[in-house]
């Protein structure tokens, strides 16, 4: 029996210990023989594996066999890093594998093991999907007695996987890698969980923070290294999540006043743009240094100026307090009153008033140059505050010229991407699609090319895709697949079409069966019914697969980014189909008709009359009657019945949402069915994942967004608590055409109040697009926001944040109209407590009213203003009431 036979037997048995025994017993010729056979053996295992990788039981023996027999360090490292041999988890944290690795490489020189460890470390990524390799690299490095690699990936792996807080004092990697901990981007995110541990765990040394603070206290590591490392990391910037761990470490070190003074210039540099938690830390430290008198005039002005221009109210408040308390104590009166002028134009109206009061308080001690500067800056203040400044500083400043009312950025429709031009590009696009979430525009572009290329030469398309399919998704070309894989294939546009290319459905009358499935509502169990819009999409998806090689093109491929198909292009396509003697799939024809613009040139209808095919006559009839009339849509938000057994967890469980849509009676039966709501007696609305078929819904009816919104609303209510790709769907809905009514408004309100920043940002984008189109249902959106707050307890600060962003972007008119409708629902009645955020909502409304010049009376606002008192709610209501009345 050859050396390879013995090793192969151990690999096939999945026996790690046997592999170590056999490999360590090999002589040099035996090692060369095994090293030569390994790549071929790995390749031979792929066809019999489920996903193109050897089974986990063979991976460890294969790794060890290669490490113990491959001669060159570069080749050995490449073998250890092979994607097919990557392990994701081990019960012992890979300790057994690392011990076996050291055993099979024990006969190698230290320099060889160190070099392999270094090369493996160079392959590590900070993202965390290669930590298994960190253990291999670290084991080889330690066994060689070599200094640790200092690559970003290795340092990140030490933080995430290798370092043990309770054992750091004796860790040989501590001294060389600790400085790098503050230099590698991504370490903070990896240690985020460490930053959230309890104080008890921290101070008992069971966290990185606790261990490092303890080691610094004991003199094992330098305290200055940690402090300088934290400050340096803050100066490089990053997201709050990435910096939280460093903030907690810095706080744990409790810098002294002398340490703060020594670094005060760096702390001041953090104040303008650092995340809030870092800026808060920096402000405390700067004020600590100021108490020592370590802040000169220039640094003070820089620090205060940075704070006054930050958007967070707490920093404005903190700066005002600091200015007021130190103006006379530090002989800074003139610097104080001139700094306060930065707040005169603030949109935080209460803080603007406070700045004026502080300026008036210190006016008597200010010199004439500073007094003149304050008088000039007061031009932006309202009349009553200008009068206070004039009385304290002398003179009277004329009001500033009103600025023009800002407008939202103009809406520019997205262009459609150029078609895929070659089979090589098609193969590249397939690879991209298989590694990313489905996005309807790129999917439509891929399917259009696949259909056209398959009609021209199906064999050539299969040959072009064979390699990528084998590498990424070999099951798409397998003769048979299991049930779970079949379901996965059937829910994806690209994989479904490619599967049809390699393994066509031999059944007959597929189109009829699919259409029947689209309309088979009553045959489905109530809890498993697929939403109507999704059934239409699945119908078209399956028909596209069955059409490969039979039709030269797809009719419904859009010609512009919003999903519409130009009428002339549709007629060209119908003529090409007629010339080829082919009829389109019915679902593709219906989708093409639904994607025609709301308004078409009469010449298109005249040209369509010349079409003689069945599909051509259908299109001609559609164009002649002007397409689909707008279905009548109704929407109502109500309170759901209490949930049995406890609190419900998703919006759909807390709200009763009723929608209806009634299409024109002359519409095509299938289209009428698609546009009719409610769907039979449906009472269950499953959440949608918008990175799947849910993301395609707006593309089905790009000329009737309100109908799409009515379909989406009950499902989005079941999804709105989660970030499943809702934001892009809102963008697509906003970019569509047609009336925007209560269903669109309710969707927009749900998205604007999402707890997820990405969804909220996309919802603000949709708000701006609708505003730019003149299609924003502002009053309905305001009413929906009010109903959500009252019925579902949506926090008002979310509404304030979203609408503030919209106002900042130029949609002040839309924001005012929205708030005017929302405030009557959101303000407390007599004897009721105001919800958190209600004063801020009034402040935003005052700003929007000032910007747009709105006038009139809102009874709910007038009622609150008339209550009297000094609460912020009453103060802000009175200010808004005055603004509207004068």
Collapse the DSSP code of 254 into the 3-class scheme (helix H, G, I; strand E, B; otherwise coil) and give the result. coil
In a domain, 673, yes or no: yes
Single out the residue of 581, 593, 760 nearest to residue 670, CA to CA: 593
SS3 content of the chain, % helix, strand, coil (to 5): 65, 0, 35
Of the two residues 634 and 821, the one the predictor is more confident about is 821
Q: How far apart are CA 466 and CA 600, in angstroms?
A: 43
| Domain-located, residue 112 | yes
Residues 679 and 711 grouped into a single domain: yes
Instruction: Look at the chain and report how many structural domains it folds into.
Output: 3
Give the CA distances from residue 38 to residues 21, 523, 653, in Å, rounded to whole numbers and listed in that order. Answer: 17, 55, 57
Q: Which domain holds residue 687?
A: 630-794
The helix/strand/coil state of 637 is strand
Bridge partner residues of 636 (DSSP): 658
Instruction: Decide if 65 contacts 13 (C-beta within 8 A).
Output: no
pLDDT surpassing 90 at residue 347: no
CB neighbour list of residue 436: distance below 8 Å, 6 or more residues apart: none
Asked if 44 and 146 sit in the same domain, the reply is yes
**Predicted confidence (pLDDT) at residue 527 exceeds the cutoff of 80:** no
**393-434: pLDDT as tens digits:** 987 666 666 667 678 889 999 999 999 999 999 999 999 998
- Name which residue leads in pLDDT, 162 or 108: 108
Distance, CA of 724 to chain centre = 9
- Please check whether residue 660 lies inside any domain of the structure: yes
Distances (CA, A) of 159 to 80, 131, 174, 506, 720: 22, 11, 10, 55, 35
| Lowest-pLDDT range of 178-182, 640-644, 831-835 | 640-644
Residue for token pair 């991407």: 417
pLDDT at 509: 47
The answer to whether residue 656 is domain-embedded is: yes
Q: Looking at the DSSP assignment, which residues form a beta bridge with residue 662?
A: 632
753, 821: one domain: no
Tens of pLDDT, residues 536-577: 999 999 999 999 999 999 999 999 999 999 999 999 999 999
Helix H or strand E segment including 639: strand 632-639
Asked whether residue 324 is domain-assigned, the answer is no
Please give the distance of CA 361 from its chain centroid, rounded to a whole number. Answer: 47
- Bridge partners of residue 770, in order along the sequence: none
The answer to whether residue 438 is domain-embedded is no
Region 227-246 average pLDDT: 95
Tokens of 140: 């080889």
Residue 140 lies in a domain: yes
Whether 23 and 122 share a structural domain: yes
Please tell me whether residues 711 and 765 are part of one structural domain.
yes
> Do residues 165 and 205 make contact, with C-beta atoms less than 8 angstroms apart?
yes
Q: Are 344 and 352 in contact (CB under 8 A)?
A: yes
Give the C-alpha separation, 466 to 434, whole Å: 14
Name the nearest CA neighbour of 439 among 492, 370, 389.
492
Residue 886 three-state SS: coil
pLDDT digits (tens, 9 = 90+) for 580-616: 999 999 999 999 999 999 999 999 999 999 999 999 9
Which of 665, 580, 584, 664 is CA-nearest to residue 618? 584
pLDDT higher than threshold 60 for residue 528: no
State residue 516's pLDDT score.
61
At which residue do the structure tokens 């938690």 appear? 277
Q: Does residue 292 surpass a pLDDT of 60? A: yes
Cis preceding-peptide flag for 678 (omega within 30 of 0): yes
Residue 845 · residue 819 · CB < 8 Å: yes
Give the helix/strand (H/E) hosting 636. strand 632-639
Judge if 35 and 131 occupy the same domain: yes
Provide φ and ψ at 505, rounded to 5°.
-75, 120
Q: Which of 132, 162, 192 is the last residue of a domain?
A: 162
Closest CA to 64 of 42, 97, 33: 97
Separation between Cα atoms, residue 603 and residue 597, nearest integer Å: 14
- Same domain as 824, residue 736: no
Instruction: From residue 129, give the alpha-carbon distance in Å to each of 119, 150, 160, 161.
Output: 17, 18, 11, 12
Residues 735 and 664 reside in one and the same domain: yes
Using 50, 70 and 90 to split pLDDT, how confident is the model at 525? very low
pLDDT tens readout for residues 493-504? 999 999 999 988
Summarize pLDDT for 6-61 with one digit per residue, the tens: 889 998 888 999 999 999 999 999 999 999 999 988 888 765 555 556 767 788 99
Exposed (0-12), middle (13-18) or buried (19+): which is 849, by Cβ within 10 Å? buried
Q: Among residues 766, 794, 822, which one ends one of the domains?
A: 794
Considering only CA atoms, which of 428, 496, 509, 415 is closest in space to residue 465? 428
Q: Are 853 and 812 in contact (CB under 8 A)?
A: no
Instruction: List, in order, residues 6 or more apart from 384 with CB less than 8 Å away.
Output: none
648 and 788 in a single domain? The answer is yes
pLDDT tens figures, 727-779: 888 999 999 999 999 999 999 999 999 888 888 999 999 999 999 999 999 99
- Domain termination site, one of 734, 768, 794: 794
User: What band does 650 get if pLDDT is binned at 50, 70 and 90?
Assistant: very low
Tally of residues, the chain: 886
* Predicted model pTM: 0.71
In this structure, the answer to whether residues 692 and 750 fall within a common structural domain is yes
**pLDDT for 240 beyond 70:** yes
652 and 726 co-located in one domain: yes
Q: What whole-number distance in Å separates Cα of residue 308 and Cα of residue 318?
A: 9
Q: Is the pLDDT of residue 644 over 50?
A: no
Determine, yes or no, domain membership for 862. yes
Q: Across the chain, what does the average pLDDT equal?
A: 88
| pLDDT over threshold 60, residue 680 | yes
- What's the alpha-carbon Rg for the chain, to the nearest Å? 34
Mean pLDDT of 628-651: 66
Residue 522 reports pLDDT greater than 80: no
608: preceding bond cis by omega (within 30 degrees): no
Torsion on CA atoms 388, 392, 397, 402, rounded to nearest 10: -30
49 shares a domain with 148? yes
């Amino acid at each position: 029996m050859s050396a390879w036979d013995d090793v192969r037997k151990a690999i096939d048995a999945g026996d790690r210990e046997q592999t170590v025994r056999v490999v360590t017993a090999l002589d040099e010729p035996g090692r060369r023989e095994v090293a030569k056979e390994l790549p071929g053996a790995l390749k031979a295992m792929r066809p019999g594996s489920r996903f193109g990788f050897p089974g986990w039981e063979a991976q460890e023996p294969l790794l060890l066999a290669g490490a113990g027999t491959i001669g060159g360090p570069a080749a050995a490292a490449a073998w250890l890093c092979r994607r097919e041999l990557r392990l994701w988890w081990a019960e012992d944290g890979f300790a057994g594998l690392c011990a076996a690795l050291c055993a099979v490489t024990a006969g190698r020189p230290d320099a060889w093991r160190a070099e392999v460890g270094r090369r493996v470390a160079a392959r590590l990524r900070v993202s965390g999907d290669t930590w298994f390799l960190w253990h291999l690299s670290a084991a080889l490095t330690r066994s060689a007695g070599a200094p640790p690699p200092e690559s970003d990936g290795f340092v990140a792996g030490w933080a995430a996987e290798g370092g043990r807080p309770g054992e750091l004092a004796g860790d040989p990697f501590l001294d060389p890698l600790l400085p790098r901990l503050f230099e590698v981007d991504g370490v903070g995110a990896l240690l985020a969980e460490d930053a959230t541990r309890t104080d008890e765990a921290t101070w008992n040394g069971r966290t990185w923070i606790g261990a490092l603070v303890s080691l610094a206290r004991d003199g094992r590591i330098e305290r200055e290294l940690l402090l300088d490392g934290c400050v340096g990391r803050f100066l490089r910037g990053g997201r709050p999540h990435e910096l939280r761990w460093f903030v907690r470490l810095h706080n744990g070190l409790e810098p002294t006043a002398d340490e703060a003074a020594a670094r005060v210039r760096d702390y001041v540099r953090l104040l303008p743009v650092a995340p809030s938690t870092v800026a808060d830390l920096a402000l405390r430290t700067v004020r600590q240094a100021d108490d020592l008198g370590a802040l000169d005039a220039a640094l003070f002005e820089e620090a205060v100026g940075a704070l006054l221009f930050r958007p967070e109210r707490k920093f404005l408040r903190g700066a005002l307090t600091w200015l007021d308390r130190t103006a006379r104590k530090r002989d800074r009166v003139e610097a104080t009153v001139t700094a306060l002028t930065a707040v005169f134009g603030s949109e935080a109206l209460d803080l603007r008033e406070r700045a004026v009061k502080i300026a008036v308080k210190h006016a008597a001690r200010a010199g004439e140059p500073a007094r003149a500067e304050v008088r000039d800056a007061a031009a932006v203040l309202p009349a009553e505050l200008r009068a206070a400044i004039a009385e304290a500083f002398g003179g009277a400043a004329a009001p500033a010229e009103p600025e023009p009312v800002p407008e939202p950025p103009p809406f520019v429709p997205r262009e459609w991407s150029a078609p895929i031009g070659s089979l090589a590009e098609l193969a590249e696009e397939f690879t991209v699609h298989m590694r990313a979430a489905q996005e309807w525009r790129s999917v439509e572009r891929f399917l259009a090319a696949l259909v056209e290329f398959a009609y021209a030469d199906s064999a050539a398309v299969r040959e072009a895709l064979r390699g990528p399919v084998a590498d990424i998704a070999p099951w798409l070309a397998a003769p048979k697949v299991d049930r779970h894989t079949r379901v996965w294939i059937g829910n994806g546009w690209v994989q479904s079409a490619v599967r049809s290319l390699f393994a066509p459905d031999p059944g007959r009358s597929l189109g009829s069966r699919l259409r029947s499935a689209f309309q088979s509502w009553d045959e489905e169990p109530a809890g498993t019914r697929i939403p109507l819009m999704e059934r239409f999409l699945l119908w078209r998806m399956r028909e596209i697969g069955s059409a490969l090689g039979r039709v030269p093109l797809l009719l419904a491929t859009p010609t512009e980014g919003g999903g519409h198909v130009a009428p002339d292009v549709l007629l060209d396509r119908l003529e090409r189909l007629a010339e080829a003697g082919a009829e389109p799939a019915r679902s593709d024809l219906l989708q093409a008709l639904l994607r025609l613009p709301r308004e078409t040139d009469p010449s298109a209808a005249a040209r369509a009359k010349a079409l003689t095919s069945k599909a051509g006559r259908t299109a001609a009839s559609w164009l002649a009657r002007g397409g689909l009339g707008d279905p009548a849509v109704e929407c109502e938000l109500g309170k759901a019945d209490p949930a049995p057994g406890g609190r419900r967890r998703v919006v759909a469980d807390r709200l009763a949402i009723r929608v209806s849509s009634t299409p024109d009676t002359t519409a095509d039966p299938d289209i009428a069915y698609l546009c009719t709501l409610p769907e039979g007696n449906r009472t269950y609305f499953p959440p949608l994942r918008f990175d799947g078929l849910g993301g395609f819904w707006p593309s089905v009816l790009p000329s009737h967004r309100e109908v799409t919104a009515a379909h989406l609303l009950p499902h989005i209510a079941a999804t709105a608590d989660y970030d499943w790709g809702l934001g892009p769907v809102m963008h697509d809905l906003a970019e569509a055409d047609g009336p925007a009514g209560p269903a669109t408004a309710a969707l927009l309100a749900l998205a604007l109040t999402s707890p997820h920043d990405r969804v909220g940002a996309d919802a603000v984008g949709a708000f701006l697009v609708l505003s730019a189109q003149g299609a924003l249902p502002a009053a309905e959106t305001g009413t929906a926001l009010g109903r959500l707050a009252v019925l579902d307890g949506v926090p008002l600060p979310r509404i304030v944040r979203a609408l503030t962003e919209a106002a900042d972007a130029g949609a002040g008119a839309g924001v005012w109209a929205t708030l005017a409708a929302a405030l009557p629902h959101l303000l407390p009645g007599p004897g009721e407590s105001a919800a958190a955020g209600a004063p801020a909502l009034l402040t935003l409304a005052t700003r929007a009213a000032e910007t747009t010049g709105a006038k009139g009376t809102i009874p709910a606002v007038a009622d609150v203003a008339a209550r009297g008192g000094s609460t912020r709610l009453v103060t802000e209501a009175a200010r808004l009431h005055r603004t509207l009345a004068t």
